[in-house]
Structure 1
């Protein structure tokens, strides 16, 4: 089973042909997709895409958007997570590359998401970019307060943060970045990820894999990501598919496994 663990199908880039994109994904063998919430205020649009039987969703606010609601309460996330179609908390985290929200607000909002993940038992979908030291500190402090499950999505950060997150039981998702010619450092980290906690994603409409780089990404391109993961890990395509499927359902356990 091919599963795209991170799509943004509510994004305006799909407004002209969303239904066709979803049908192309199905035709390419994508059996399940998780539509990721970019901000709580946009949840209705995110949820609308998840009306389909094979699409699920999350609730959360991306670090770029943290400034929209700096006082975001964990209970707000918990309440929305009562919807059975919500299978994760996030995307949330820290992005010190663009700094589109103040760093202290990013951290404050991130901790609210951690609390919601801990309370609901749903996995935390973590975005981290150029914030390795602070991210390590926060996840370790929060884990000490009480365990929670986390997914380091589209992981491109350093080996040390990866190791520290893995020590807390984190899962990791691999995206089209692993296919980029200049991404050897990313491939080196992928080679060391826990074999039973790796899943795949497109992060569409962003980060289209080779040979589609530069185009709008879509879930139908996921097999190219899986093929690169298989190459890096020395797995057959069948083994890569089976391993990532098992890891996905172990993490996103609100989704019934067919």
Structure 2
């Protein structure tokens, strides 16, 4: 875990890149207490240790399916699945079988675990004596002491060098793989930010503790423990996601910016959703 001092920072953006529904602005001055954050998302190896210790069954395993991006699937699996846009609901897709029956994480132990719901992430946190970050903590950590669009600056690609796992080419039909990956990348791929934190942008969406798309003003004056107590309930309609994923592209979704926001229901899972942990 990387210890961060906390303090005052500017959260959100007054720019126009995002979607109005996400409530990325107006910017707010937020004060945070010190906290520690994992340098990378929870990996398949980490989640395997959790499973071996507890026997925990994820939401995707209980439901018997999860959502997989179409280019990650072999053609023979598609007729067995139901499709919406570029997503297929694939039978038996889960964290151990990311593309359904016959797939494996054997060679992806250092990749972020995927097909985990907010409920699953909370169960892992309880076992590991950690918690999910609030959106404010996540943004503070991602900035790395700067005030830029991305953890490294304002340009997605710096001098021809890719700093994150996002989409290149024509979304969602063709990926040129200029950053090296169609799906997830190992968690230590690319350079970390100034705090030594890897892949806050791209690769996988990361669950946050608080409900989705709440006003940024909710984060301004409350201590972390009070904020958590007041905002985290099992009955929220959705929970926040940050960071974008390997599917983000300027032509469709620019939520890979630090200020970008997204949300989903507590039981939802997909092949591009994982999580990272913090400790007060």
Higher helix share: 1
* Superposition TM-score tier, normalisation by shorter sequence: under 0.3
Give TM-score, length-normalised by structure 2: 0.24
Give TM-score, length-normalised by structure 1: 0.26
Greater length-normalized contact order (CA 8 Å, ≥ 6 residues apart): 2
